[in-house]
Amino acid sequence: MTRRYFGTDGIRGRVGEYPITPEFMLKLGWAAGKVLARAGRGKVLIGKDTRLSGYMFESALEAGLAAAGCNVLLLGPMPTPAIAYLTRTFHADAGIVISASHNPFEDNGIKFFSGSGSKLPDELELAIEAAIDEPMGMAAPAALGKAKRVDDAAGRYIEFCKGTFPYDLDLKGLKLVLDCAHGATYHVAPAVFAELGAQVEVIGDEPDGLNINVACGSTHPQALADRVRASGADAGIAFDGDGDRVVMVDADGHLIDGDELIYIIARGHRNAGQAVPGVVGTLMSNLGFEIALRQMGIGFERAKVGDRFVLERMQALGWLLGGESSGHILCLDRTTTGDGIVAALQVLAAWRQGGGTLAAMRSGMRKYPQTMINVRLRERVDPEGVPAIQNAVRAAQAALGERGRVLLRPSGTEPLIRVMVEGEDADEVANHCRVLADVVEQAVRC
């Protein structure tokens, strides 16, 4: 079946534009409840980030699920990974996240977790899509679902996060600045790090429904860097709006992205005598990251961009660590999905065990210069089917050799091709990227 609603990361769009409407959410809740309740009365958790439209969609989903005969547990504002964890611990049939992650408040979306706290299997997503097209009915009056709010959801998740940090370590003596992006981590992240002993200063912890991700968080780390330098903190940690991504800054305010954070975790595991057979990155992971891992004898494979594809490859290989340069990091030895707080704790654990500064922990990895140019198209074109483009790619790759990389990636959402080149020399990389972009632009005009 061709998917109509579910993308690689659930259903997402502009609020008020189909399917991100209350009418659709009512039907989606009913369809999901109908599918999940086939083996009896289902139980579904609903959590959300802090954007204003979440209240409306929470009510619509709750009504649809109850109409289908499902009981609903309402978590309120909670990080996406918290919903995955709580779905598992409550032995629920599924968890629903109302969030558009790092997008602005005008967007929203729906993501499902299975009862095991992982992404919902394809067959269930397809079954829900099929049910959406059916006429909406209602369970018998005696079989309707109930809704209950979980008052201790935050406390449960805080304890889980703390439990992923080594019991023989603490964060005493560290001053940390947290940027919660006015999002779902605002009321849980400060408690986690403070209860482990850190002196915590927080920004981005005053959500008003409209300010989520605005000039803050993992997509805008400059505010964090400025505060770390001004306060003399040892490090800063920035989450995105739903808490499944994290980036950090060192004491000098220098950004440490997802590739570097994964490197620090892998290095820490190695130094502690733990086996790290390999790491899964993406097509966009920095070449310097791959080289640094291989120098430690750690395997590396690239998946398509998107945490879903990273997870699938990790599971196929049996590897426990992977993620994206954007800060979506999967530590499968700790939890089932990308978790910004858990990933940050693993970085801090490696730092505490290794000693020194956070900047020193990433010193073994040299990021290669990278240039990207977006070439806009009149219509979608597959660059692999255009000989002139492929000839130019081969020429650039031959010139760069093993110390450089060329990637042409068509956008999945708009008519453009992303031309990316990385290598040891920044000027050479920029030149190759400009030449390739010109070739692509000329070839697609013909």
Residues with catalytic annotation?
101
SS3 217: coil
- In the numeric block, which tokens belong to residue 295? 């120098």
Spatial separation of the C-alpha atoms in residues 432 and 425, rounded to whole Å? 11
- In the numeric block, which tokens belong to residue 191? 């408690």
Name the phi and psi angles at 48, rounded to 5: -155, 165
Neighbour-count burial of 151, counting CB atoms closer than 10 A to its CB (0-12 exposed, 13-18 middle, 19+ buried): exposed
C-alpha distance across the termini of the chain, in Å: 35
Spatial separation of the C-alpha atoms in residues 193 and 419, rounded to whole Å? 40
Please report which helix (H) or strand (E) contains residue 345, including its range. Answer: helix 340-354
Give the residue from 121, 133, 115, 100 showing the smallest Cα distance to 4. Answer: 133
Give the residue from 15, 262, 46, 33 showing the smallest Cα distance to 153. Answer: 46
- In the numeric block, which tokens belong to residue 164? 């992923």
- Peptide bond before residue 19 is cis, with ω within 30 degrees of 0: yes
> Any residues with CB less than 8 A from the CB of 205 and at least 6 apart, and which?
178, 180, 182, 186, 187, 190
SS3 440: helix
CB 60 within 8 A of CB 81: no
Spatial separation of the C-alpha atoms in residues 96 and 70, rounded to whole Å? 13
Length of the chain: 446
- In the numeric block, which tokens belong to residue 327? 């800060």
> Any residues with CB less than 8 A from the CB of 231 and at least 6 apart, and which?
175, 177, 201
Spatial separation of the C-alpha atoms in residues 161 and 154, rounded to whole Å? 11
CB 325 within 8 A of CB 284: yes
